[in-house]
Amino acid sequence: MTTTTTAIIDLDLPGATISRHVYGHFAEHLGRCIYGGFWVGEDSPIPNVRGIRSDVVSALRNLQIPNLRWPGGCFADDYHWRDGIGPRDQRPRMVNSHWGDVVEDNAFGTHEFMDLCELLDAVPYVSGNVGSGSVQEMSDWVEYLTRADDSPMAALRRANGRDEPWRVPFWGLGNEAWGCGGSLRAEQFASLARQYATYSRNHGDNDLYRIAAGASDADLHWTETLMRSFDDLAADPAEPARPFQAVSLHYYTMTGTWSDKGDATEFSTDEWYTAMARAQRMEELLTRHSTVMDRYDPHRKVGLVVDEWGTWWNVATGTNPGFLYQQNTLRDALVASMHFDAFHRHAERVVMANIAQTVNVLQAMILTDPDSGALVLTPTYHVFAMNAGHHDASALAVHLRGVETRTVDGSELPLVSASASVKGDSALISLSNLDVDTDRTIVLDLRGRDVVGHEARALTASALDAHNTPEQLDAVAPNAHDGVRPHPRGLELDLPAHSYVTVSLDLQ
């Protein structure tokens, strides 16, 4: 059975810019994300550049990765940056108490991370230690990274082999301060955030964009408390927000509870729809937190940074439960596509987002096989690649008509998700069919500009739990989609069941 839906898009009415930084990534010292993922060491038989795995860098460069968040996560508030500088054989060891209770040798530290960002051509996003660190420790780290003269920290950086400072605009003031980052109350952390922001200084022309650790899920009180702590946000719209510039939000998609999150590959049709309904909640969370922020920040000076999002399933059988390794199926890909649609619709407020995490952890882009060394691109990786045209484009409103819904946990889940953007003479439309069984015909009612060319790509598979492995690298991979036809109102598109499709338009 096939049903028809109409998507009305005014191509001549661009909205807010979709920052490329909503396609950001996250690399925590967790499981095999850093060690065995990004970092293999200079003596590894796996091809590398100064210890950084070459094929991982190449794959992420192909995504045009805009930024990378490090060193955590929960790990950030246990991390003391001075332990990760200087000769590697002289660095102290540490216990990663959050993730597996393993001992790390600090081989991957500040210089290695900045080298990685340069190889990726990605903007670094450094998460500072508020939970167990000090104001001076964070202030010194900013100086070490970004100051150019002969200050004490700049001299220390030069002694460790780096003459010129780096540009590090994005700076996190703690992580999950309500939990692993200190178990603080909102009022406690708001005061600390002001203090740490004050001493995280701009050096030279490196202007910091300070991001205060924000709420989990629907904790609107946390967001409101942080918003109350700002200086006068109603002043001149051209004046930046002070003392920090953004607050964060964390939300994970799962079908069960924190103690039993659901299986990554063995799931029922009902669990598929539950995952989609839970992913749809991101739209609600962005709306509610933005409403609170609008009350205090009418000029929208303060950014909302969703710097942890994605699916969180039970760990793969036989793996270390503290390493959070899970497979990544077609279901994960559609969860990602729904999130991006929500981020696009909230482009005026959402300035950055970071999927958790980049390699070998949670909803990863890349899986590396510990035995063969093979690299696997996940279905989620392909959603990022197919959406590259949205980077720094202007959001276009998509008005859907005739969308069927399914009742899930007492709420209605629309079975089609969509967003669009325009940049110059190009536009990109992203469409997800969440229906397990039903193909759809989408009439793209394109108004305001002439379409002189189009190209479509589709990501789907015969099985809902299809995923890529070293033996089947392309079980879920995008292909050219020829199901697009002229229509009196624009284009008509075949949208297969459980699929993600993008349509690129050439405009006049």
Question: Which residues are catalytically annotated?
Answer: 176, 308
Closest to 40 (Cα-Cα) out of 363, 380, 375, 382:
375
Beta carbons within 10 angstroms of residue 158's beta carbon: 13
List beta partners, residue 94.
104
For residues 338 and 62, give the distance between their C-alpha atoms in angstroms, rounded to a whole number. Answer: 22
User: By the 8 A CB rule, do 391 and 66 touch?
Assistant: yes
Helix (H, G, I), strand (E, B) or coil at 329: strand
Residues 6 or more apart whose CB falls under 8 angstroms from that of 86 comprise 160
Phi, psi of 378 (to 5 degrees): -85, 165
Residues 6 or more apart whose CB falls under 8 angstroms from that of 43 comprise none
User: By the 8 A CB rule, do 121 and 167 touch?
Assistant: no
H or E stretch including 420?
A: strand 416-423
The residue type found at 417 is S
User: By the 8 A CB rule, do 364 and 311 touch?
Assistant: no
The 3-state secondary structure of 444-472 reads EEEECCCEEEEEEEEECCCCCCCECCCCC
Helix (H, G, I), strand (E, B) or coil at 352: strand
User: By the 8 A CB rule, do 37 and 331 touch?
Assistant: no
Closest to 154 (Cα-Cα) out of 164, 167, 162, 144:
144
